[in-house]
Structure formats: C-alpha cells, structure tokens
Amino acid sequence: MIQDFKNKKKDIRKRLREFKELNKATKNKKFLELCYCLCTPLSNAKKVYGIINEKNRKILLNGTEKEVQSLLKGNCRFHNNKSKYIVEARDFINKLDKLPKEGALAREILIENIKGIGYKEASHFLRNVGYKDLAILDGHIINSLNEIGVFRDNKRPSSREEYLNMENEMKKFAKQINIKLDELDLLLWSNKTGEILK
C-alpha cells in the first residue's frame, strides 16, 4: 500500500488541491457538487459524473422535478427519489457557503437539513469542497479496509455511532501508515476502481 501511495501521491494531491479550490467556489457550483453526492449512492460514480456537471447546471438549479428525473434516468439508480432530493435541497443553496469551518459540525448540519444525505454523502460532499479529516465509508473503502484487516467485516454502518466508530478506526490506520485520511480515501478508491475520481 505504501508503494501504491508513492506511485499515485502526485495525482492524489493534485486532486485534493482541486477540491480545496472548490471551497472558494460560488454557492451554485457547490450545489452541483452536492447534487453529485446525492446521486452517487448505489450508482456508478463515473456515469453520475457525466451528467452532474456545468453542462446541466440549468436543469439542476432550476428544472422541474420531472426534468431532473429525465436527466438522472438511466444514469443513476433510484432516480425518482434522487430528483426529489435535488429539488428539495435547493432550499439550502444559500447556506452552502455559510457552513462552519469545523468538518464534523458542518456534516451534522447537512444531515439534519438535507433529505437524502447521510454521514457518507455529507462526508463526500465536504471532502469534495475542501474539508479534511472526514471518512467517506462507501462500499469500496469498507471492502478495502476489511481486506487489509482494519475492519472485522464489510458490513456498512447502520447508525451514527457505528459510522463514527468506523471513521475512528480508519483515522487510526491512516495515522499508523502515515498517510492523511483524505489521501488514503483516494488511494483505496483508485486501487478498487482504477481511477482517482472524486
């Protein structure tokens, strides 16, 4: 794993710098990132990335629920629910650039206020707009950490307590191998998928 990191370190850090730049982006641009994180659960991240972007900004920001459904259909699972979440999340746009600087607190606010966002999705969004030290415990990451013995099994967290406990285990492991948490996430993701995406 350490050798993998050495091989990919330059590209991983470049991607993380791009995420950091998004922290200074407009609230509308951050909203597109939120839409991406709302749509990726149980879906192909690359396919979602192909539709949740600047090209479709108008539909994502102002389209009807039906228009958003049409955009998502065939590109992500549960497109009916996810289109509803996107439309409802527009009420939160003005607060996206007023989130606390402290990641754990910002995450709780997102979970409390945006339907369709849990710990994984909130952590994903915050990492993608420049926050650090939050674990994105998706299937790829959990499976990887199970395979190397950090987690006892590959069961997904089903409660806040479970998520935070698993996040702490991942943090401990990252510290032990001297790789930052967000770098470890992209390393494990790319080892599973072959890409440093987001």
CATH number of residue 87's parent domain = 1.10.340.30
Q: What are the tens digits of pLDDT across the range 126-142? A: 999 999 999 999 988 99
Q: Are residues 85 and 57 in the same domain?
A: yes
Q: What are the tens digits of pLDDT across the range 9-24? A: 899 999 899 888 888 8
Q: In which domain, by residue range, is 139 found?
A: 2-17+135-193
The two three-digit tokens of residue 177, written as one number: 């191998």
Give the DSSP H or E segment for 102. none
Query: Domain for residue 108, yes or no?
Result: yes
Query: Domain for residue 198, yes or no?
Result: no
Burial 44-56 (b: 16+ CB within 10 A, else e): ebeebbebbeeeb
Distances (CA, A) of 183 to 1, 21, 72, 76, 130: 12, 16, 30, 26, 12
pLDDT value at residue 31: 96
Q: What are the tens digits of pLDDT across the range 44-99? A: 888 998 999 999 999 999 999 999 999 999 999 999 999 999 999 999 999 998 99
The two three-digit tokens of residue 92, written as one number: 């939160």
- State how far the Cα of 40 lies from the Cα of 77, in Å rounded to an integer: 9
- State how far the Cα of 28 lies from the Cα of 59, in Å rounded to an integer: 12
- State how far the Cα of 46 lies from the Cα of 43, in Å rounded to an integer: 9
Q: Are residues 61 and 110 in the same domain?
A: yes
The two three-digit tokens of residue 91, written as one number: 């009420």
Give catalytic residue positions.
120, 138
Q: What are the tens digits of pLDDT across the range 132-184? A: 999 999 988 999 999 999 999 999 999 999 999 999 999 999 999 999 999 99
Using alpha carbons, select from 128, 91, 110 the residue that is nearest to residue 16.
128
Instruction: Give pTM, 2 decimals.
Output: 0.92
pLDDT value at residue 198: 65
Q: Are residues 177 and 145 in the same domain?
A: yes
Q: Are residues 94 and 13 in the same domain?
A: no
Q: Which residues neighbour 64 within 8 Å (Cβ) at sequence distance 6 or greater? A: 87
- State how far the Cα of 58 lies from the Cα of 44, in Å rounded to an integer: 23
* Overall number of domains in the chain: 2
